[in-house]
């Protein structure tokens, strides 16, 4: 990030319980984890991270697994999210199997991430053992409780043997008066729940800040995005560890 040494950023990021993948295409600073949809991907972002995920685009049905693999191969992506069908488990299972078969004969060397649609536990059972990496999908607009329960249902079956990502999980600002009703609290209290999640808020918030137009506008925008993601990482680390201080917190443990 701007005005910070890379070692400082790495120190904060590596203390975090989960890998926070910045999602989007604004931030120009260095951050160890980045994720982009295939339609907004670019090589400059690949060069500014250690691990890069290329996500398929469920909103654009004209973009299939082959398009994602072609782009991932071109960019040298580390991981690629296979195409799925929102809120349709049966179609997702078929799409994932087709995608894995296609990947076997494609020059793309990115590790596949299998997206799971609800019911997530059943979807995982249908696709168990086909990859090392899975992602909870279809919960972008769900409540924190639903997101935690979805990830927990898969963890209860798979244990810690898989790498589990929260697609569209994001992070809310912790608010103690609401007990454990934020994902920050839930992840601090259940640090093994997720291995990673993607977080678009830093970039979205930066775009919405009252920053004057003109030359170099992206510099203060990037500084703001950097602040947001660094603070999120700090709140999810043992040194800062934010937990509920409510007298009767709402249990979210899985």
Backbone torsions φ then ψ of 125, nearest 5 degrees: -60, -35
pLDDT for 1 beyond 50: no
pLDDT for 97 beyond 50: yes
> Taking the CB of residue 5, how many other CB atoms lie within 10 A of it?
10
**Domains of the chain in sequence order:** 6-235 (3.20.20.105)
Residue with tokens 């993601």: 229
Q: Which of 41, 38, 9 is nearest to 25 (CA)?
A: 41
pLDDT tens-digit readout, 40-58: 898 988 999 999 999 997 7
pLDDT tens-digit readout, 114-155: 999 999 999 999 999 999 999 999 999 999 899 999 999 999
Choice between 201 and 17, residue whose per-residue pLDDT is larger: 17
Instruction: Specify whether the CB–CB gap between 77 and 109 falls below 8 A.
Output: no
pLDDT for 71 beyond 80: yes
pLDDT for 181 beyond 60: no
Question: Structure tokens of 236?
Answer: 């999810």
Q: How confident is the model at residue 206 (pLDDT cuts 50, 70, 90)?
A: very low
Q: How confident is the model at residue 2 (pLDDT cuts 50, 70, 90)?
A: very low
Q: How confident is the model at residue 248 (pLDDT cuts 50, 70, 90)?
A: very low
Residues 6+ apart with CB under 8 A from 216: none
pLDDT for 66 beyond 60: yes
């Amino acid at each position: 990030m701007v005005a910070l040494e890379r070692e400082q950023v790495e120190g904060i990021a590596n203390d975090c319980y989960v890998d926070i993948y910045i999602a989007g295409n604004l931030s120009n600073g260095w951050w160890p984890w980045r994720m982009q949809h295939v339609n907004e991907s670019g090589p400059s972002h690949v060069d500014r991270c250690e691990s890069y995920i290329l996500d398929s685009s469920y909103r654009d049905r004209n973009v299939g697994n082959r398009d994602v693999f072609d782009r991932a191969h071109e960019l040298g992506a580390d991981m690629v999210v296979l195409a799925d069908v929102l809120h349709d488990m049966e179609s997702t299972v078929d799409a994932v199997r087709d995608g894995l078969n296609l990947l076997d004969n494609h020059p793309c060397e990115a590790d596949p991430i299998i997206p799971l649609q609800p019911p997530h536990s059943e979807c995982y059972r249908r696709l168990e053992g086909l990859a090392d990496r899975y992602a909870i999908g279809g919960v972008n607009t769900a409540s924190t409780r639903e997101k935690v329960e979805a990830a927990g249902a898969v963890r209860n079956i798979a244990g810690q043997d898989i790498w589990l990502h929260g697609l569209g999980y994001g992070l809310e600002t912790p608010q103690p008066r609401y007990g454990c009703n934020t994902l920050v609290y839930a992840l601090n209290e259940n640090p093994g729940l997720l291995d990673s999640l993607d977080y678009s808020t830093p970039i979205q918030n930066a775009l919405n800040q009252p920053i004057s137009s003109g030359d170099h506008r992206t510099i203060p925008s990037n500084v703001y995005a950097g602040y947001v993601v660094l603070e999120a990482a700090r709140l999810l680390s043992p040194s800062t560890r934010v937990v509920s201080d409510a007298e009767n917190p709402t249990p979210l443990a899985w």
